[in-house]
Amino acid sequence: MWAFIVLALIALFGSGAMNVIVDGVRRVVANYAYAIQFDTDVEPPEEHNPGQMFWDSAAGTLAFRANVTGVTNQIGQESWVVARNETGEEVTNGQVVYISGATGNRPTIALARADAEDTSRLLGVATHDIAHNTNGKVTVFGLVRDLNTSAFSEGDDIFLSAAVSGATTDTCPSAPTEFPMRVGQVVAAHVSNGEILVNIVPVVNVAIRSRMVAINIFDSATSVTVGSGINGIPIPAALNGLELTDVLATVNTKGVTGTTNVMVVRRRGGANADMLSAAVTIGDEFFANDETINTSNDDVATGDEIYFDVDAIHSGTEPFGLSVVCTFE
């Protein structure tokens, strides 16, 4: 019985004979071979030898064994990249990595993390423990096995963690302060025999959108005066559901002595609400954005109106010109 053979479909031409392994014995079978039939009714060889190829009944495909004990590739169902670990520490099976450089015609890897753009540009997931200063296999697509996935449920999407290097989470990180990347899905939830399907996809997170609205309250030739409801802007549908995250106030000519204080007010359904719990205060400077956002009133909806109050001006000489930029995310 043919337990395993080295190649799947092959056509050899020429005068040389074809050598194959049959039941552990090297044999000459023919000068020409146009197809090879693998025995699909036998178990894979128990001993792991690099270069072995056999029929994997569980996966329903051919498989071959790599030069790392216990690491097998199911042909057509997963893809690897050989990379080098020079981090100073072991990269363990299931940790998520990015390309940190290159050496010896191999990419170098380090543990990925979603809190920075560079470290979120994923290569894949380590498919076995990779010691420092050694090469190893990184799965860029396919199953990674023998993991602790007990924290997840089967079918969960998993994302690159922004809190723990190399880790995954079922909570998608939030842009723009984080860089969300989906690593793949959990296909088996288990404390030691868990499996994930690696299928890396960047996440388009709605929080990444931001809008800035600028308004000129006093022109450059006009002195700033105290007043409420000075100039306003209606909120269009493009800003619906966003939140105020920053306010920048600028003057054309600085005031003298004291501060000029600017408050942002939201008017909704005939009622006013301060969007800041502490106003922007412009001192001996041309601009300021030292406000404190009132998180109870920071959201905007289509049809709201945003007004600006000047609660105080410099007591010596008033500033000239006042513009405000509001950022919504």
What span, in angstroms and rounded, lies between the C-alpha atoms of 192 and 232?
A: 60
What span, in angstroms and rounded, lies between the C-alpha atoms of 285 and 109?
A: 47
Top pLDDT among 198 and 16 is at 198
List the one residue out of 102, 322, 317 whose CA is nearest residue 217.
322
Q: In the predicted model, what is the mean pLDDT of residues 37-66?
A: 87
Tell me, what amino acid is at 181?
A: M
pLDDT at 175: 76
Top pLDDT among 85 and 29 is at 85
Query: What's the mean per-residue pLDDT of the chain?
Result: 88
Token pair listed for 78: 């997963």
Distance of CA 246 to the CA centre of its chain: 25
Residues 114-151: pLDDT tens digits? 999 999 999 999 999 999 999 999 999 999 999 999 99
The residue behind tokens 């405000």 is 324
64-77 residues labelled b (16+ CB within 10 A) or e (exposed)? bbbebeebbbbeeb
Model confidence band, residue 10 (pLDDT cutoffs 50, 70, 90): very low
Top pLDDT among 46 and 272 is at 272
Residue 95, pLDDT above cutoff 70: yes
34-58 residues labelled b (16+ CB within 10 A) or e (exposed)? eebebeeeeebeeeeeeebbbbbee
Residue 34, pLDDT above cutoff 70: no
Terminal C-alpha separation, the chain:
67
> Is residue 180 reached through a cis peptide bond, with omega within 30 degrees of 0 on the bond before it?
no
pLDDT at 2: 38
Residue 207, pLDDT above cutoff 70: no
Cβ–Cβ < 8 Å for 58, 25: no
Residues 6+ away with beta carbon under 8 Å from 291:
246, 247, 264, 276, 278, 279, 280
Residues 295-306: pLDDT tens digits? 999 999 999 999
- Computed on alpha carbons and rounded to an integer, the radius of gyration of the chain in Å comes to 32
Residue 105, pLDDT above cutoff 60: yes
Residues 265-318: pLDDT tens digits? 999 999 999 999 999 999 999 999 999 999 999 999 999 999 999 999 999 999
